[in-house]
Structure 1
Amino acid sequence: MSRVTKTDVFLILILTCIAGFFRFHQLDQVPTGLWRDEAANGLEALRVLDGSLSIFYGTREPMFIYLVAISVAFLGRTPLAIRLVSAIVGTATIPVTYLLVKELFRSTDQRARAIASLTSLWLATSYWHISFSRLGFRGILLPLLASLSFYFLWRGWNQLTRLRDYGSSQRSLTLVWFALAGLCFGLTMYTYTAARFLLVALVLFLGFVASLGWRKARRRGHGHATTSPPVSPLKAGAVFGLVFLLVFAPLGAHFVTHASSFFARSGISVFRLAQDEPLGLVLAENTVRQLGMFGLSADPNVRHDTAGRPAFDLFTLLFFVVGAAVCIQRWTQLPYLFLLSWFCVMLLPATLTYPELPHFLRAIGALPVAYVFPALGVERAWHWAPTKRFPRKLRPALAALLALCFAVSGLFTYRDYFSPAVEEMELVKAFDPRFVEVASLMNELDAPDSVWIIPLGPNGEQRMAYFVIDFLYQGQAPHVYIPLDESTAPQELSLACQGRRRAMVLNRTADAVSQPWFDLYADSKGLIPFLLHQQAQSLERAATDGLEVLVYELPSNVSFSMPSGFAPLDMAFGEELRLVGIACECAAFSAPRASVVMRWQVEEQPTTDYTVRVALEDDSGKTVTSMDRVLLSGEGRSTSEWDAGQEEIGYFTLWGLPAETLEGYNMSIALVAPRDGERSSVSEERLVSAALCSQPDTP
């Protein structure tokens, strides 16, 4: 009979402590920031705490979200509250995997304990598993519940087939194991999309067992039976299946009535994205690329693989190959057949997708079993070693060498994860630390009579990035997202600012101009400040990495608008761009200023990125005030990406006017092109009479 001894308890405690160190060490600092998908889980958790309970959240299974809700209820709205759930789940996977592997090979006694210990040690120091144990992704639940369900299943299976007389209590206990297996197996469906393939793995395994024949499979797996099992396999299977269906029923009913939820991730499958290529060739290439994660290739997604390294090091890969060969050689024995079925099928969620491979996250269902193979490889080498050329007395030296290899592997894992050799900008892109800092700044500057204005560009992913702010911001002032559309932004900004004394705007900092990626998350053209400058007074700014907060004092009644009444122009700036219209309005809320809007037309596709320089000159040609701004499209694209025939507008605020009117002044408009690195040249310059401007408009 398989039982947990004091030795097992001691080993489990040691292995769990090792796993806990790698998963909890500096959890509040590494990884930096908070990714949008993690924040989205946090937002759903907040809805749970508000009483909005659901069986499915968008494209997300609910279990992780409910666990995060519990964590947030105790720890508050912090990145740690989300990631702590993953760390606990990841650490708990180690003892469960130990019990599963020991139960799987329990007929071999000491071998079972050795294989279980090695598997759990590898898993405890696994770079692959550590990475997801420190991220707020729901996929981390799958290895835990898959291992737990298979542990109960094998516990019941072994009790069903062991060689001894059974009483009624043992008969009932056998069914309990199968019921617990069905319970946990049903719960896996609430963890991660890839869990659905577990059912395929189980059916495939049972299909092979049926093809081998019950008696033949039992004999090869555990010896010859001398007594009838206490309950029939069909009855045990019925208990497992019934409990599984009862647990899965609510989610299954949701899928029946909301088929789009079930097929939400089908858009990334090879069957849809690789239609122009032979499917067999694509599947073969994907299989090779996915298998490359075990020692050859890194996951291209930095969030999954901050060190840019394979899931296995060379030490693990060597014994993985040996262990896989052992499994293939013994495939007709149930434990090995089970391992092969589990591993191969649970790689399919990654193999059947396109094109980012290898993909560590989608293959996470194969994670526990992947480390059984190297453990089998070590066990095989250990029993193969004592020969005439390698006497048994050298075993202690072999054990010391293995221990040294594990220690070195663990040190490399620590170095690779906590000090990754990846460019800082790649980590910034991967984890959005700016938005964690911005949310902290928003909480610090919050005032109940204010409103937060967050520009929302045309990039659809930008709104998802702001999930981080939505989750972490806890202030009293509302935060409003204003789409950067010149036709709608003035009205939406006016509504957001009504009844507020201050507007606090999230904007980019000047040094972010050199980083195009930052422009996806900022008001690159300055539309919101341009509108606010019409009537609001700029008070202060608070900067963080790449972004800043601009604070404006608002009048009691606000009504923002774009300058209207474009004066037609026909000014050619070289052969590429033409100024076809201009509109100006003056205001004197706190200091005289002019709002200028220009309409540009593309004659030929520009070959460079232009900056517009606007200067107000008096009759003598002396510059009174000026402003430079990069000429951008509504989507934030620079002029070198514009197409012939395209029309765009640019807007400027000229400060320091000598009066509340532009009468008697000229406006100098120049296109500035970069030349030879840091130097620039004025390619064209034109003068526009101030008579084209409208009359003063003083609020």
Structure 2
Amino acid sequence: MNTHQKTNWFHWLILLAILAAAFAVRVWNIEGAPAGVYPDEAVNGIDAIKVNLGEQPFQWFYTDNNGREGLFMNLVALSFQIFGVSVLGLKIPSIIFGTLTVLGVFLVTKEIFRTPRAGLFAAYLVAFSFWSINFSRISFRAIMVPFLLTFSFYFLLRAIRTKSFWQFAVSGFIFGIGFHTYIAFRIAPAIIIIAFLGLLITKKHLFRNYWKQAVIFMVFMLISAAPMIWTFYAHPEFLESRSASISILSPEVNHGNLLQTFARSFGLSLAKYNFWGDQNWRHNYPPYPILNPIVGVSFLIGLIYLIAKFFHLLWLRIKHDVRDQKLFTYAFLLVWFFSMLAPEFLTAEGNPHALRSIGTLPVVFIIATIPILWILGKADTFSPSSKTFFFSFILALLIFAGTFDVVKYHYFWANNPAQYQSFESNLMLMANFIKDLPAEKDKVVIAENMQRIPIRLFNYQTPNIYYVYPGEIQSFLNEKELNNPIFIMTEKNDSVIEILKKNYPLSQLKGISTEKAMKFDTKFCIFK
């Protein structure tokens, strides 16, 4: 085996270790962190159960919860068939997509910089990122966006370099699948269009050399996107979403001052990476930025470097007709970042928002790799003793970057009371409590609409269970004859308890909890 082959094997072994570690930190203690299943996740699971029970067919678009592209729910349905209706069954698709995104980042970064070393650094940073770990452990369809972008762009960039027809086809097909994922992906074609303009001013005879390949890309993209395109054509109302009501373009939102609203939203969107992060406990560890200090500084330096070099090379192209391939590379990375940031800064609700900008996740870590590569390149001029010290220092920084977010997630975030409350962990306690009750016993869940969804998910086929709104309990009791019932409430409600006491004077109110739930104040009540 020659030296090149040994190096190749070494790189693949490191990548395999990174992928194994990435999977481990995403799947470990999945039942305990997050502490609950949020209603938005549970809706996905209920649609999946309905599919498996034959209550509805596989769909391209599910209309509940403001409407959702159907691919993720269909994969959850498949997961339930393998793992059963469980937390793992609900979340394993996210875990897999999150892990495979690490592989995708390696491949696309390796292709961009033409060195596996760059790919390994970027993959390592993604593998142990709080941002990526967190969304890989939540059953949200958005986690598919980084995965599809990285693999589509890997094959696209490779195809541009090699003029390979089949790679253009694969890239287009993967890209088209993106339209089946998350609303933020709908802006992704802007990356292709604007990057094409960058390629146009970089390569000579672009149309003559690539028009056939471009047609292949478009055809295969349309093939995979066709079911969703047809669905939206047949049901244009599905295109409407809550985004319209929170857009900065809406007069109700910008109050006649669009520029100021845009500047604030754009500033907050950028600030989340380094200064002030997403304040939602389901998305981040508030108030901290979504990147750890090492990665955050490296990303900021890399972004400034990219912008400066892009305009420098653009000036050389315009002024002196210099065609530098790096101009396309820099343009591509910048367009990717700012295009996928747009779903966040074009809305004015809840910013900074790490979920809406999830399409920037891969490119953020690719950009953060640029300063690392520059520093390592300079190290070639160091003396042997200086190299030893330098590489030891770099290794220490990488170890810090790799452990910081893992500890932050699995220890500090996972044990924070705010996380328990944000995920409404008492609903999981209720769901498990109800599952253990005798099948013949009447079980009445007194809860609001969103609160009952996680309970219903894990008790979908539980017999003799009723869901009642707090304000409707009296009319329910008047209409229904119950057999030795137990009433389960998400919280103590005095008016409901008074009604229950009048109807069941011998029953008592009890608080149900566990040691951990008492610590985090996430208990619930029963009346029996």
Shorter-chain TM-score: what band? Answer: 0.7 to 0.9
Aligned to 1:514: none
Does 1:204 find its partner at 2:194?
Answer: yes
Contact preservation (8 Å) 1:54, 1:62: yes
Q: Does 1:12 align with 2:41?
A: no
Give, in angstroms, the shift of residue 295 of structure 1: 1.5
What is aligned with 1:238?
Answer: 215
1:382 corresponding residue in structure 2: 376
Is residue 270 of structure 1 aligned with residue 248 of structure 2? yes
Q: How does 1:3-82 map to 2 (within 5 A)?
A: 5-51=8-54, 52=56, 53-58=58-63, 59-82=67-90
CA offset at residue 392 of structure 1?
6.4
Distance 1:493 1:282, change over 3 A: same
Mapped partners of 2:401, 2:185: distance in 1? 30
Deviation of the 1:336 alpha carbon: 1.8
Distance 1:422 1:268, change over 3 A: farther
Q: 1:322 aligns with which of 296, 301, 307?
A: 301
How big is the shift at 1:445?
A: 1.3
Match of 1:300 in 2: 279
Whether the 8 Å CA contact 1:323–1:380 is kept in 2: the answer is no
1:646 is aligned to none
8 Å contact 1:93–1:147 — kept in the other structure?
yes
Amino acid in structure 1 at the alignment position of 2:71: M
- The offset of 1:290, in angstroms, is 0.9
The 8 Å contact of residues 278 and 353 in structure 2, kept in 1 or not, is answered as yes
Q: Structure 1 residue 380: deviation in Å?
A: 1.2
Partner of 1:468: 454
C-alpha contact (below 8 Å) 1:386/1:392 kept by paired residues: no
Contact preservation (8 Å) 1:506, 1:549: yes
Choose from 341, 353, 363 the match for 1:359: 353
Go from structure 1 to structure 2 and tell me whether the alpha carbon gap of 1:271 and 1:523 turns closer, same or farther (over 3 Å shift): farther
Decide which structure has greater strand share.
1
| Count of residues in correspondence between the two structures | 494
Alignment partner for residue 131 of structure 1, among 130, 134, 138? 134
AA partner of residue 418 (structure 1): H
CA distance, structure 2, for counterparts of residue 300 and residue 308 of structure 1: 6
Question: How far off is 1:446 after superposition?
Answer: 3.1
Instruction: Give the superposition deviation at 1:414.
Output: 2.0
1:194 matched to 2:184: yes
CA distance in 2, matches of 1:142, 1:49: 25
Q: Which region of structure 1 is more displaced relative to structure 2, 326-335 or 14-23?
A: 326-335
Q: Aligned in 2, Cα 1:266/1:446: closer, same or farther, shift over 3 Å?
A: farther
**Match of residue 524 from structure 1:** 493
Alignment counterpart, residue 261 of structure 1, candidates 238, 249, 253:
238
Residue range with higher mean Cα deviation, 146-155 or 276-285 = 276-285
**1:287 paired residue number:** 266
Superposition deviation, residue 257 in structure 1: 2.8
Structure 1, unmatched stretches of 5+, are: 107-111, 161-173, 219-228, 457-461, 508-520, 552-699
Change (3 A) 1:439 1:189: same
Distance 1:315 1:439, change over 3 A: same
Q: Does 1:434 align with 2:437?
A: no
Q: CA deviation at 1:94?
A: 1.1
Q: Which has the higher helix share?
A: 2
1:599-678 counterparts in 2 under 5 A? none
- Return 250-259 or 235-244, whichever deviates more: 250-259
Q: 2:398 aligns with which of 399, 402, 406?
A: 406
- 2:389 is matched with which residue? 397
**Distance in 2 of aligned mates of 1:150 and 1:407:** 29
State how far apart, in whole Å, the 1-side matches of 2:99 and 2:416 are. Answer: 28
Return the match for 1:176 from 149, 155, 166: 166
Contact 1:453 1:505 in 2 (8 A): yes
Deviations 1:483-521 (A, max 9, x none): 333xx64333333x33x42222113xxxxxxxxxxxxx5
Displacement of 1:209 in angstroms is 2.6
Residues 401 and 347 from structure 1, CA distance in 2 versus in 1: closer, same or farther, beyond 3 angstroms? same
Task: Map Cα deviations across residues 269-327 of structure 1 (whole Å, 9 max, x no partner).
Answer: 11224231411121111111111111211211001113642122221122223322332
Match of 1:483 in 2: 469
> One-letter code of the match for 2:285?
T
Aligned sequence identity (%): 24
Spell out, residue by residue over 1:33-73, the C-alpha distance to the aligned partner (whole angstroms, 9 max, x if none): 11111111111111221232211112211121112112211
The 1-side partners of 2:27 and 2:495 are apart by 42
Give 2:518's aligned residue. Answer: none
1:146-157 map, 5 Å: 146-157=149-160
Code of the aligned partner of 1:245: L
Give the C-alpha shift of residue 434 in structure 1: 0.6
Q: Distance in 1 between the 2:169 and 2:454 partners?
A: 40
The equivalent residue for 2:445 is: 454
Deviation at 1:247, TM superposition (A): 1.4
Secondary structure at 1:419's aligned position in 2?
helix
In the alignment, the residues of structure 1 paired with residue 183 and residue 233 of structure 2 have an alpha-carbon distance, to the nearest angstrom, of 16
For residues 128 and 299 of structure 1, the distance between their equivalents in structure 2, rounded to whole angstroms, comes to 10
Give distance in 2, aligned partners of 1:340 and 1:298.
21
- Check conservation: 1:447, 1:475, Cα contact below 8 A: no
Match of 2:148 in 1: 145
Give yes or no for contact 2:474–2:499 (8 Å, CA) kept in 1: no
User: TM-score, normalised on structure 1?
Assistant: 0.67
Q: Is 1:492 matched up with 2:476?
A: yes
| Residue pairs, 1:54-133, within 5 angstroms | 54-58=59-63, 59-106=67-114, 112-133=115-136
Q: Secondary structure at the match of 2:429?
A: helix
CA distance in 2, matches of 1:274, 1:318: 33
Note the residue ranges of structure 2 that are not aligned, 5 or more in a row. Answer: 314-326, 514-521
In angstroms, what is the RMSD of aligned CA positions?
2.5
Distance in 2 of aligned mates of 1:476 and 1:16: 39
Relative to structure 1, the CA distance from residue 284 to residue 391 in structure 2 (aligned partners, 3 Å threshold; closer, same or farther) is farther
Q: Does 1:547 align with 2:524?
A: yes
Q: Is residue 492–residue 524 contact of structure 2 (8 Å, CA) maintained in 1? A: no
Letter in 1 for 2:360: A
CA distance in 1, matches of 2:36, 2:352: 24
